[in-house]
Structure 1
């Protein structure tokens, strides 16, 4: 097997087409992988599409045709081999390929790689390879017109439903309209006589202590003739120690190894280690000559999705179990990290995963409107124990289903499953994003129809999600298949079965975030709240400083959500007294997002109460990242700058957490009266423990009356159950009086709970402060905030409680260990600020005057 890479020495130009006939060609050098927008920006031919209103200045690119071409020579010795293949790993999207003037292939699926036999066409010298990309906009419109016309969808233009191209490029409610074109992955030649066409490795972990690892390997060769090829297998650990080997194994026979205590199991982050092994497969002929080699990275784990009846509640669980351990999955949704995929390098993928780790997250959902992501993302998840929920690439639409399209989708699914199945992090494939929800919303989903004959129904894509995709997943892997996200029992919004996307905060009924507990599902795979990014990111979207206010044309263009002004103001006005200058608006939307999202994780993690009582088993926020500088639901912006919500979520996903709810309960004297009653403020206190052991803790509960400075204190010695939440106490808020009419205002009492391990009494493992809501009613006191800097440590203390403290510095930003802090007298907190370099620390908090 010889490989020759052809990624350098290309050139590209726009060319004449039906819709752009009068084009003067202008050839410019480039290298692969790339796209037209990236190259034109590099050449200065277009303005930065991410700035100002420039997005709309580059829309012509998607309606034009483009050619990328290269010339190359090869060694004449390659003609001594039986096969010469051209491999194109990814073409975006509609491409006619010619070699030496001869047409060799057409492509129309961005997600496919292509292998083309070119031995009869290639020459030793002066080979001319040309990739002619046709307008994705017009090609998709043609396909739409030929196959039934426009269909309903959410986001983008309807022709996207007929295009196997990253759907977010048509524009989404967080991203620009940026339809990329070009060879978005590499190109190379493979020269060989016989090759390892497929190496399928399946691993499991079993045994009473999950100490028996099993590996099976099935080999498919490109040579289909009956020949006796031999294989050498070597399993190697991370220290290059050989664990097991087999020599001269017949390629026609399946390999099976049972490794009792020889190989260690792979566990999600927080539940064990992530040992990774290397399986080397060498193909030989009977004479011992090496013909091909493949190295696969493998791990050993058993992963299931448990759906079983629950104790005391209707429906069934939806909980991920890895190596016998049931996991509360606290994590995020992932969209493509750039509108221009070729601008994302390996280091950037790893930086995103490092951010997940910093945020104590253990699951990432790769959303169905983007792409099957780069290996670097999955590799980093493998190495760090981040579970991956993988959607197939369908999102928010009533997709068509017809033989030609389905043939392409089947090939796409096969390639995706074969590529991703070896990653131990990948534990679920879901058929699509929200397509069943859309079908329900327009009345075309018939749950009574289980005929399997869906191609001519009002929801034809059921054939894809219920027949085509599960067959591919089951045939090619052992990974769990879920027909959609969300998908459940009576509907996709069923809170008792399957997963839900809970958008009744922000969208839908626009519930207050205090209702997250009522909005829980068995697994909440989407929910969110918008918040502005860091001021440094805001400054990036325009060089015109007069546009840097919340209602400017540029600021509005950098928030793609319909009705975002109404929704932001609804939640801001209900909860805060806020200002409208950019600095204040950033602060208030960030604090709102931080408060809202942390409450969801806190209340839903409480529902993970132990085996048989996993009433909520996961919460995946929409979303971790952005594809450009904007206002969105992301908890870290395009430049990987965490928003305050990132830190409040991280606190709710620590090994130990503490939580409080409070509510005002009105009890009437009897049924006959509306005037005589009592109002009491009740609270509940609980803690969560994600270790697999019982843990003895001390919980300190303190209250502070903001009007009178009165303080009360309780403490509890309690044992927390393993891998579950534990209820601690419920009662009347200490210091709160009973009211007898609605004119009496409740005392503004702040409650703080701190959790200490019994064997570490002076160390706070978890803390939470519950403030009276809504915050707009409060008169915040002057807190006597003190900030002491020692190197990169920032020591925070106060005389009276502080709400929503955010820290910053002038100039180059710091890497903060925590943000959006609530302080309580007598409980000093230390924040690490890497890169502080002796600078003064700036701050904002609710009621400080600057916010």
Structure 2
């Protein structure tokens, strides 16, 4: 018989309390679902995403909840040789399953799938109703109990209360510095009833690519239950390339393999470096030719994969030890972002939404997305989209900002979790690195936990220290990676250096770094970011408000829609945001406190900060053998609810100007300009800035003009063209110096320096022996372009810092419309021109600066172009 799969999707009810409580049952959503969403469906709670309603639903996470459904036994159940199982894709989190009143399973890990043989547990009479119940205990209360139970361990957690430490559940549910406290419960993945005689459990491929990158040789592996004959087809674009049918046993129980060879394979490439061809492996399990039921198909499975070669290059060089990725023998600069779950309620993110998120990252020229360890092992749809769009995935294991325990049952659960998820994701070509955790080694440094990397190499001894999780990150997880997947590097943590440098004190010479001395830490000026890189920057960021349209949805009381209101401060979870955000805005711009203006200022400030980082750190990609910076991932791409945060795209998928700033700096070919910044703020002395006094010579800000210009390319060949540099007065819009021009050959896959430490004589420089008169000063922007045969292909602009010292009267801005296009120009330089965006509106560009004589074309989808609203710095 062919396998029967029936999803127990509808007909569920739920109630507060245990299965024996007298509480009333209410209809639940179709599975997958979560208790908050079911309470919303029945109008029992207010929307936690609005106003201060998060506070009114905290009680939900402290309660027990029971889900119930009924079903009938499948038709073939009970026949000889027939097996019936219930498959639970994921239960959140402490779950007790009962079938027809009898206990079936206890689960304590949200990330684990359970398959339970229920052949002998179903009522066999025809049409008999089967009762399935799942009781979910409070994860928070169970966590507190486990902390008390395991007094041998020193539980330390950051961001949240201690109860999350021993619980294998998405850690952000306890709240983070960008998300609410919403501790969920429920059947968050499908529940499926299967009946079969024989079935395919899993199918995957392992392969190698020859040195010429032409031929792929490998094996198709199949795990199955029962008896039967296996066949596999390998196809591409619907065309059959090879049939595989000579399967042989392996060392693993119920696993067989067969060889395959593709002599002229098409390789999978990251976006911007080549195409993303995908191959389909179709496996059929059927009866043998000699069988009475010859020709019967028991089960089918289909897997899609791409063939690529991945290396994490960590070699000694003149800067320390490199850290970058090489795909198919080509060095790849990984510019991109970090990903958190797209919703506090995971079941609301549909496959189409995942695809839209990954597509948005790809359209923003992002090569890599890092899936952060405080969330989940994401849905297959995200990885399928990444495969299709050529976006590389860095996947953290699900640990974040804590000192995790290692008692026996915990380790056993973690190993099952790791193996299941590595197996599920192992054939996605987009997944190119696994990391052990997020920032757990920083806990080690901050609290002085026991960690001797150099001399203690005995994993069993690590379990006896007060940092036993080293066993997980440096023994258990790499063991799982070696045994379950091939050709994917493992990194012990993000960040992590070489064991002696775990990068709480950021080490720019080794490993990856989280650079938080802008915003957090020392709160350095973001103009210092060019000097604050590491070998790979896997986190850094700057906060900004989302567009006003998003704030209006979250804060329903219009009287609360002002910067610093109770509702606004409550929604921003970042520690010290009241001081940090206003400090960065006020340090750089003239403050305006009405909501529209302040929102705009935060957005332009964020975009400027990220531009300083991406532009300069991409410059440090340099040339082969001299890859000083291997990648830049902003914290963060997205939000899990409507809020103000470090995200560059808000909860509704509406980009902030910073998204477009990243997009511009990661174009395949860019030019960059960096002007020397003469610091105008008063801070403690340091060697880099060489400042030890508050007596700043303000004339240097505008009159000591020194700059660098370079080009960065990820092209596979060199490009010849011309660099032009113009100097345009902010006041008048006229050129104040003769342009500079230089013919240049831009080298492939690297950066080419064009002007270094270039100085210009400032026109109308004032007599140093006379008082400085700001009215006589004539600050100018520096505008550089790269042209090929008189066609402009790249540009960049540098402003005299800080912007708050500049005046912007009478800019002469023109906005013209033509169908779905809008054209923007100005007679004088304009800083931070931003269209007000909203959901269902899509722009090709936003948040740009305007230079006289240049017209910017923006494509508009989802709205009539002439209804757009906009702001720019200094706008009346």
Taking structure 1 as the reference length, the TM-score comes to 0.94
Aligned to 1:824: 851
Aligned to 1:133: 136
2:817 and 2:866 in contact (8 A); partners too? no
Alpha-carbon offset, residue 23 of structure 1: 6.3
Aligned to 2:434: 429
2:731 and 2:808 in contact (8 A); partners too? no
Aligned to 1:375: 380
1:150 and 1:159 in contact (8 A); partners too? no
Separation (CA, whole Å) in 1 of partners of 2:445 and 2:120: 52
- 3-state SS, counterpart of residue 180 of structure 1: coil
Q: Deviations over 1:686-722 (max 9, x none)?
A: 0111111001122111001234644331122111000
Q: Deviations over 1:803-850 (max 9, x none)?
A: 1111248x986322111111111122111222442534432111122x
Aligned to 2:496: 487
Separation (CA, whole Å) in 2 of partners of 1:10 and 1:675: 69
Range moving further from structure 2, 117-126 or 50-59: 117-126
Q: Deviations over 1:315-335 (max 9, x none)?
A: 111111110111000111000
Q: Is residue 2:216 matched to residue 1:213?
A: yes
2:402 and 2:440 in contact (8 A); partners too? yes
Q: Deviations over 1:101-147 (max 9, x none)?
A: 11110001000010111111012411111101111111111111111
**What runs of 5+ residues in structure 2 fail to find an aligned partner?**
251-255, 680-694
Range moving further from structure 2, 196-205 or 59-68: 196-205
Aligned to 1:583: 596
Distance 1:619 1:390, change over 3 A: same
- The 5 A counterparts of 1:218-229 are 218-223=221-226, 229=228
Aligned to 1:685: 709
- 3-state SS, counterpart of residue 629 of structure 1: coil
Q: Is residue 2:581 matched to residue 1:568?
A: yes
Separation (CA, whole Å) in 2 of partners of 1:739 and 1:440: 53
Alpha-carbon offset, residue 393 of structure 1: 0.3
Aligned to 2:841: 814
Aligned to 1:157: 161
Alpha-carbon offset, residue 362 of structure 1: 1.1
Aligned to 1:96: 96
Alpha-carbon offset, residue 42 of structure 1: 1.3
Alpha-carbon offset, residue 291 of structure 1: 3.0
Give the one of 471, 475, 479 matched to 1:467: 475
Alpha-carbon offset, residue 76 of structure 1: 4.0
Aligned to 2:781: 750
Q: Is residue 2:173 matched to residue 1:169?
A: yes
RMSD: 2.2
Aligned to 1:671: none
Distance 1:22 1:413, change over 3 A: closer
2:218 and 2:261 in contact (8 A); partners too? yes
Q: Is residue 2:736 matched to residue 1:711?
A: yes
Range moving further from structure 2, 7-16 or 640-649: 7-16
Separation (CA, whole Å) in 1 of partners of 2:443 and 2:22: 41
Alpha-carbon offset, residue 438 of structure 1: 1.8
Q: Is residue 2:336 matched to residue 1:308?
A: no
Alpha-carbon offset, residue 25 of structure 1: 2.8
- 3-state SS, counterpart of residue 699 of structure 1: strand
Aligned to 2:690: none
Separation (CA, whole Å) in 2 of partners of 1:738 and 1:498: 48
Aligned to 1:33: 32
Q: Is residue 2:725 matched to residue 1:701?
A: yes
- 3-state SS, counterpart of residue 58 of structure 1: helix
Aligned to 1:848: 875
Aligned to 1:537: 550
Separation (CA, whole Å) in 1 of partners of 2:448 and 2:304: 46
Aligned to 2:806: 778
Distance 1:83 1:717, change over 3 A: same
Separation (CA, whole Å) in 2 of partners of 1:31 and 1:824: 54
Aligned to 2:685: none
Q: Is residue 2:523 matched to residue 1:523?
A: no
Taking structure 2 as the reference length, the TM-score comes to 0.91
Separation (CA, whole Å) in 2 of partners of 1:339 and 1:232: 42
Q: Deviations over 1:563-622 (max 9, x none)?
A: 001111111121111111111110110010000011110010000112111100100110
- 3-state SS, counterpart of residue 141 of structure 2: helix
- 3-state SS, counterpart of residue 157 of structure 2: coil
1:219 and 1:251 in contact (8 A); partners too? no
Aligned to 2:23: 24
Separation (CA, whole Å) in 1 of partners of 2:545 and 2:558: 17
2:246 and 2:258 in contact (8 A); partners too? no
Separation (CA, whole Å) in 1 of partners of 2:492 and 2:432: 14
Aligned to 2:236: 237
Q: Deviations over 1:528-569 (max 9, x none)?
A: 000000101000112211111111111111100110011111
Separation (CA, whole Å) in 2 of partners of 1:75 and 1:48: 39
Distance 1:738 1:468, change over 3 A: farther
Alpha-carbon offset, residue 757 of structure 1: 2.4
Q: Deviations over 1:231-270 (max 9, x none)?
A: 21100112x1101112354455532222111x31000001
- 3-state SS, counterpart of residue 303 of structure 2: strand
Range moving further from structure 2, 729-738 or 61-70: 729-738
Alpha-carbon offset, residue 153 of structure 1: 1.8
- 3-state SS, counterpart of residue 585 of structure 2: helix
Aligned to 2:755: 729
Separation (CA, whole Å) in 1 of partners of 2:616 and 2:866: 38
Range moving further from structure 2, 431-440 or 702-711: 702-711
Separation (CA, whole Å) in 2 of partners of 1:291 and 1:63: 45
1:12 and 1:30 in contact (8 A); partners too? no
